[in-house]
């Protein structure tokens, strides 16, 4: 069933929802490392990255929500799984494989930079403004990914991880089976008392 919200016409939705959904789901996957990252200092740092991603998702959803007369939370949580526009790449569950996690982080930030820079050229001032802010934060993510890349580049399992994940980075299409599980867990509290304020 298509949400009533998405039946309305929106210029921003097709442009921004894929990015917002990617950031939401990647932020979700990255938060799976909370408390169990390889060492404590990195745990704290990686958690900030996850928070930034969710923050980006929220800001992007808010721009779309304004056009569709809904809220960011409704867009983030109240669509059915097939209405999400995230890529299979971000849906992959990689914990506890740090090599794959960093490989995805590195590849994702590279690809994301391109599309955010494109958004910075948008005629829609709110979109280009937000894109500039996101880009400034993502500059730090790119630095972090590079820092780990430099440290791990001679490590065979990291090289393998990059090779395995690189072809998936650009693919967009079907959700993978893990996404249904993710959606289920992500929305379980919200669905438990429909329409409630939390």
Partner 1 sequence: MSRVFEVFRLERKGQPFQHAGSIAAPDETFADWYAREQYGRRGESVALWVVPREAIHEIDEFVDELQRNYHRVDGYPLKEKLARARERAGTRAGTSD
Partner 2 sequence: MTDEQFLDYVQGGGQVETSDSMPDEYRAKLVKFIEMHGNSELMGVLPEREWILRAPTLQRKLALTAKVQDEVGHAQLIYRVVEDLGKTREQCLEDLISGKSKFHNVFHYPTKTWGDVGVIAWLVDAAAIISQKALLKCSYAPYARIMKKICWEESFHILHGRDVILTMMNGTDEQRELVQEALDRWWGPLMQFHGNPIPRDEDPMFVWRIKSQGNEEARQQFLDGYVPQIWEFGLTVPDPNLRKTDDGVWEYTEPDWDELKHVVTGHGPKTAERLGLRQHTREETEWVRRTVLAEAA
Q: Which residues bind partner 2 (CB under 8 A)?
A: 28, 31-32, 34-41, 43-44, 47-48, 50-51, 54-55, 57-58, 61, 72-73, 76-77, 95-98, 151-152, 155, 157, 185-186, 188-190, 192-193, 196-198
Residue 144 binds which of partner 1, partner 2, none (CB < 5-8 A, kind-dependent)? partner 1
If you compute the radius of gyration of the chain from its CA atoms, what whole number of angstroms results? 17
What angle (nearest 5°) sits at the alpha carbon of residue 14, between those of residues 10 and 15?
A: 105
Nearest residue (CB) to partner 1, 79 versus 144: 144
- Region 25-84 residues binding partner 1, contact defined as CB under 8 A: 39, 41-42, 44-45, 48
Residue in 47, 21, 16 with CA at minimum distance from that of residue 34? 47
**Cβ(103)–Cβ(162) below 8 Å:** yes
**What minimum distance in Å lies between the beta carbon of 40 and partner 1?**
8
**Cβ(23)–Cβ(54) below 8 Å:** yes
- Which of 56, 58, 79, 144 is close enough to bind partner 1 by CB under 8 A? 144
- Output DSSP code: residue 9: -
Q: What span, in angstroms and rounded, lies between the C-alpha atoms of 38 and 117? A: 32
Residues that bind partner 1 (CB under 8 A): 39, 41-42, 44-45, 48, 143-144, 147, 150-151
């Amino acid at each position: 069933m298509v949400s009533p919200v998405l039946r309305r016409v929106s210029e921003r939705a097709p442009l921004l929802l894929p990015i917002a959904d990617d950031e939401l789901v990647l932020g979700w996957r990255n938060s799976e490392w909370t408390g169990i990252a390889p060492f404590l200092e990195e745990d704290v740092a990686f958690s900030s990255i996850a928070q930034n991603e969710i923050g980006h998702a929220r800001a992007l959803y808010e721009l779309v929500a304004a056009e569709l007369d809904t809220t960011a939370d409704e867009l983030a949580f109240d669509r059915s799984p097939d209405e999400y526009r995230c890529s299979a790449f971000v849906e992959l569950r990689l914990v506890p494989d740090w090599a794959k996690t960093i490989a995805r982080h590195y590849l994702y930030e590279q690809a994301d930079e391109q599309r955010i820079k494109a958004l910075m050229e948008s005629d829609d001032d709110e979109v280009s403004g937000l894109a500039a802010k996101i880009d400034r934060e993502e500059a730090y993510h790119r630095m972090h990914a590079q820092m780990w890349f430099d440290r791990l580049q001679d490590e065979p399992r990291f090289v393998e991880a990059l090779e395995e994940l690189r072809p998936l980075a650009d693919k967009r299409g079907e959700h993978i089976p893990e996404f249904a599980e993710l959606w289920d867990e992500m929305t379980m509290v919200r669905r438990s008392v429909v329409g409630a304020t939390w």
